[in-house]
Amino acid sequence: MEAERKSIRNLSVEEHEEIFANVAKVLEGTAREAFAGGDGRYAALSSNMAEAILVHADELARDQLDAAERVLEQAAAMISQFRAVNPYPMVSTAVH
- What gap in Å lies between CA 75 and CA 77, rounded to an integer? 5
Give the pTM. Answer: 0.81
Tell me, what DSSP letter sits at residue 94? Answer: -
Which of helix, strand or coil describes residue 82? helix
Ordered by start, the domain boundaries in the chain are 2-85
Q: Of 36, 47, 25, 29, which is closest to residue 94 (Cα–Cα)?
A: 36
Q: Residues 35-58: pLDDT tens digits?
A: 988 889 999 999 999 999 999 988
Higher-confidence position of 14 and 1 = 14
- What gap in Å lies between CA 33 and CA 5, rounded to an integer? 29
**Per-residue CA distances from 76 to 22, 92, 93 (Å):** 11, 25, 28
